[in-house]
Every structure is written in structure tokens, then in C-alpha cells.
């Protein structure tokens, strides 16, 4: 039996057809690599719109190529088209839900869109895929921290700290978390650990000094700032805090030197001007304090405290009109604390007296006492105003007696006149003089 003769042309075409089928996948794979490389190079060269066009042409032929979907998503993100990028990334994730690069790009895009909850969701997905990867755990803790969920951020970082107790970033973030959670002792512990590894970290040094200040550990704050300044004497922030610690420890001359040095280094902040003014004020150098407070107030005309100190410094420097104007202005800015308001009334009355309006000063003192009847100093001030400035000793006598009764309370602090005579001793002597004249 003869075998059938195969037409040579048919035989050639058959062999060519199958050859093309066998070679096509390899040819397409090579073309894919070229396209991917081209898009990647465009992204690296910031040609994002061109990269998107090439990716679109490729995806018309192969809409399920994960690498191209990822690259196009990155190009869209670079053009701030985050929502479009996310649509593409989610499409890719549906094809491969175990791809960490896809999920991580999704995390970053949601963060850019301000949707932290979905960013946290995507980051948790990554951690389930690769639970041993510390990088993504830190990213998740940062997401919680940025949404003020400091407890959750801390709970993620603690296990990481236990496995790597020298990681400065983890130590910093734990310190930040505990500071936000109002756990100063723990925050101080971790900030100190950071500085053991890097004593030149100005940011953490500043945070630790501020923690000491908030917890009234002024000496510790001063010592830390002094040690840092031995290494970096021109760091304006630490120098400013150093001066502030001296101020809080009531070493006003030394604080003054530090704040002046800050200004030499170009620090013209309101904080530095305010506390330099206060250093002068606490030393009764009102003529020096007045222009500094004026500069600070012009930087922030809503600061009632600076307004008050400027007003006092002005009238005590015999700039009476400005003193009265700004002490009255203080009352319109905010509702201050009782203690501050009481002090404000006293200074305002003194300014009116110095300006030749003792009657107005008396009205303010009586108003102050009506608001703060527990302030015995106001009783003395009213009596003294009647007695010394208005020449009405018989009315003064009533308030002097009330002052004596209030002063018998054991928890009352001793007060004195500028001449260093105690209010109590002066009042007893004055009551005796007035009553003798009445007889």
C-alpha cells in the first residue's frame, strides 16, 4: 500500500504555521520586556504622560499584565491622578492579591488622598502576606500615629523594640507616642535612649527639654541644654530653651544673656522677644522691657499676656498714655485666669493713679475685689487708695480692718510695700493713727 503523496506547498505552509505558533509566545515575551523597560525608563526620566500612553497601547493587547498595570499606576500617581491609579491597582490586585508592590502603592495613594482608614486596611493586608517584614509594621504604626491613635501605634512598636533595642527610629517614635499619651516618664526614658545613640540629635534634645519643662524638672532641662550647647553652641532652638530654663529657675540675668545671644544669632522670634522682655521686667528694668514687649506684641496682637506686660512697662517708664491704652486693651483680648485678671486690675489702677486719675483707680480696685473677694491684697490696695491718694482715712479704716481680719488666716502669704514694710505691720500702725485722730 502506498502512502498518500502530500502536496509540497501544503506541507510547507503547515510547517510554517506551526513554527509561528511555537515561536509567537517567546516573541511576545521579548516584546513585553521591551515595553516594560521603555515605560520604566520613561517614569525614571519623569516622562509620566508619555509612559501612560505607551502603557495604554500595551494594555490594549494584554490588559492583565500585572507589571504594566503597576507601572501605569505609578505614572498616574506621579501626575497626582491617585483615584485613577487606585482603580488600576485594585484591578491588578483582583488578579493577584499576594503582590506586595501593588498593595504598597495602594497604601501610598490612599495616604495622598487623605483616606487613612483605607491606607491602614491596605497596610494590614501587606502584613498578613509578610508578617516578618518590620518595614511595613513601622509604616502601619506611622499611619496610626498620624490619625492620633497613639496607643495602637505604640502597641505595634513595642514588639519591634524588644527585638531591636538600638533602633533609633523606633525609639524616637515610642518616645513620641508616650509623649502624646501623657506618659512623660516613659517618653523621657525612650528619648534618653535615643540620645545615648546620638547625642547630636537636636530635635529629640528639644523634645526632651520641653518634657522636663512641662513636668517642672527645670534643672534637668537646663543641664541637658548646657551639655548640648557644648557640642553645638549656635543651635538657636536649644539656646532659646536654655534661656527659658534659666528664666524658669528665676536666674533672670543669666536668662537675659542667653536670649540676647539668641538675637545675635538672628533669632527674632516672638518667644525670644517676649522672654527677654520678661527678664528685664523681673529685674524692674521697665525702660528696657518696654520696647522689647512692643516688638513682641506687634508680632502677635492677640497675645494678652504680652499686651499686659507692655502696658505695665510703659506706664512704669512714664509713658502713661500707652500704659493705660494697652492695659485696657488687655481686657478686650481674652478672658484671662482669675489670678491674672486680678493682677491686671491692680496694675490698671496703678496706671490710672500715676496718670492723675485716683478716683478711676479706686473704682477699678473695688470692681476687682467684687470679682475676687478672696484676694486680701485688694482690700489693702483699696484702703491705701482711700487713705494716701484720696485723703479719706475714715473710709480707708473700714478696709484696713477687713484686711487685718483676712490676714489672720494661717494660709495667707506675707506681703509688703515697696519699702519692704509688711502690709500687715503697716496696716496695724495706720489703724492706730487713724483711730487716735478720730478721738
pLDDT in tens, the chain (439 residues): 333 443 444 333 333 333 333 333 333 455 578 889 999 999 999 999 999 999 999 999 999 999 999 999 999 999 999 999 999 999 999 999 999 999 999 999 999 999 999 999 999 999 999 999 999 999 999 999 999 999 999 999 999 999 999 999 999 999 999 999 999 999 999 999 999 999 999 999 999 999 999 999 999 999 999 999 999 999 999 999 999 999 999 999 999 999 999 999 999 999 999 999 999 999 999 999 999 999 999 999 989 999 999 999 999 999 988 988 998 898 888 666 677 777 888 888 888 888 888 898 888 898 888 878 878 888 898 988 888 888 898 888 888 888 888 876 544 445 555 555 688 888 888 888 888 877 6
Q: Which residues pair with 102 in a beta bridge?
A: none
Q: Which residues pair with 422 in a beta bridge?
A: 416
Residue 50 belongs to some domain of the structure: yes
Give residue 408's pLDDT.
67
Give residue 421's pLDDT.
65
In 3D space, the residue among 180, 144, 143, 140 whose CA is nearest the CA of residue 160 turns out to be 140
Give residue 1's pLDDT.
37
Residue 262 belongs to some domain of the structure: no
Residue 186 belongs to some domain of the structure: no
Q: Give the SS3 label for residue 144.
A: helix
CA distance 125 to 103: 7
Residue 230 belongs to some domain of the structure: no
Q: Give the SS3 label for residue 422.
A: strand
CA distance 251 to 266: 23
CA distance 94 to 8: 50
CATH number of the domain enclosing 65 = 1.25.40.10
Q: Residue 115 phi/psi, 5° resolution?
A: -95, 80
Give residue 4's pLDDT.
40
Residue 404 belongs to some domain of the structure: no
Give residue 336's pLDDT.
64
Residue 223 belongs to some domain of the structure: no
Q: Residue 416 phi/psi, 5° resolution?
A: -145, 160
Host domain of residue 51: 34-131
Residue 63 belongs to some domain of the structure: yes
CA distance 208 to 185: 11
Q: Which residues contact 107 (CB under 8 A, 6 or more apart)?
A: 119, 122, 123, 126, 139, 143
Residue 66 belongs to some domain of the structure: yes
Neighbours of 402 (CB within 10 A): 17
How many domains does one find in the chain?
A: 1
Give residue 402's pLDDT.
87
The answer to whether 354 and 320 are in contact (CB under 8 A) is yes
Amino acid at each position: 500500500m502506498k502512502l498518500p503523496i502530500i502536496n509540497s506547498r501544503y506541507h510547507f505552509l503547515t510547517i510554517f504555521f506551526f513554527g509561528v505558533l511555537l515561536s509567537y509566545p517567546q516573541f511576545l515575551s521579548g516584546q513585553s520586556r521591551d515595553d516594560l523597560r521603555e515605560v520604566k525608563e520613561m517614569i525614571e526620566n519623569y516622562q509620566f504622560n508619555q509612559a501612560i500612553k505607551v502603557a495604554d497601547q500595551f494594555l490594549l493587547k494584554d490588559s492583565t499584565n500585572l507589571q504594566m498595570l503597576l507601572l501605569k499606576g505609578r505614572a498616574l500617581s506621579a501626575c497626582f491622578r491617585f483615584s485613577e491609579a487606585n482603580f488600576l491597582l485594585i484591578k491588578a490586585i483582583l488578579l493577584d492579591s499576594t503582590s506586595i508592590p501593588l498593595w504598597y502603592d495602594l497604601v501610598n495613594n490612599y495616604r495622598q488622598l487623605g483616606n487613612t482608614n483605607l491606607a491602614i486596611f491596605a497596610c494590614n493586608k501587606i502584613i498578613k502576606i509578610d508578617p516578618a517584614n518590620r518595614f511595613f509594621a513601622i509604616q502601619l504604626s506611622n499611619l496610626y500615629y498620624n490619625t492620633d491613635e497613639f496607643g495602637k501605634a505604640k502597641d505595634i512598636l513595642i514588639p519591634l523594640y524588644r527585638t531591636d533595642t538600638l533602633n533609633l527610629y523606633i525609639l524616637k517614635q515610642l518616645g513620641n507616642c508616650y509623649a502624646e499619651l501623657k506618659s512623660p516618664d516613659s517618653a523621657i526614658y525612650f528619648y534618653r535612649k535615643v540620645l545615648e545613640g546620638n547625642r547630636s540629635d537636636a530635635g529629640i534634645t528639644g523634645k526632651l527639654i520641653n518634657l522636663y519643662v512641662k513636668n517642672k524638672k527645670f534643672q534637668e532641662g537646663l543641664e541637658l541644654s548646657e551639655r548640648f550647647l557644648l557640642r553645638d553652641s549656635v543651635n538657636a532652638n536649644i539656646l532659646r530653651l536654655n534661656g527659658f530654663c534659666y528664666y524658669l529657675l528665676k536666674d533672670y540675668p543669666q536668662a537675659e544673656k542667653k536670649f540676647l545671644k539668641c538675637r545675635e544669632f538672628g533669632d527674632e522670634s516672638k518667644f525670644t522677644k517676649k522672654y527677654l522682655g520678661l527678664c528685664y521686667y523681673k529685674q524692674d528694668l521697665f525702660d528696657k522691657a518696654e520696647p522689647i514687649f512692643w516688638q513682641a506684641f506687634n508680632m502677635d496682637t492677640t497675645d494678652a499676656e504680652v499686651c499686659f506686660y507692655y502696658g505695665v512697662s510703659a506706664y512704669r517708664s512714664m509713658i502713661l498714655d500707652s500704659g493705660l491704652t494697652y492695659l485696657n486693651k488687655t481686657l478686650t483680648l481674652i478672658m484671662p485666669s482669675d489670678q491674672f485678671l486680678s493682677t491686671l486690675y491692680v496694675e490698671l489702677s496703678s496706671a490710672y493713679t500715676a496718670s492723675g486719675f485716683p478716683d478711676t483707680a479706686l473704682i477699678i480696685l473695688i470692681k476687682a475685689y467684687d470679682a475676687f473677694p478672696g484676694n486680701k491684697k485688694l482690700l489693702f490696695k483699696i484702703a491705701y487708695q482711700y487713705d494716701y491718694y484720696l485723703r479719706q482715712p475714715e473710709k480707708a479704716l473700714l478696709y484696713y480692718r477687713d484686711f487685718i481680719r483676712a490676714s489672720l488666716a494661717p494660709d495667707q502669704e506675707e506681703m509688703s510695700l515697696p519699702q519692704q514694710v509688711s502690709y500687715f505691720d503697716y496696716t496695724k500702725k495706720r489703724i492706730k493713727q487713724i483711730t487716735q485722730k478720730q478721738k
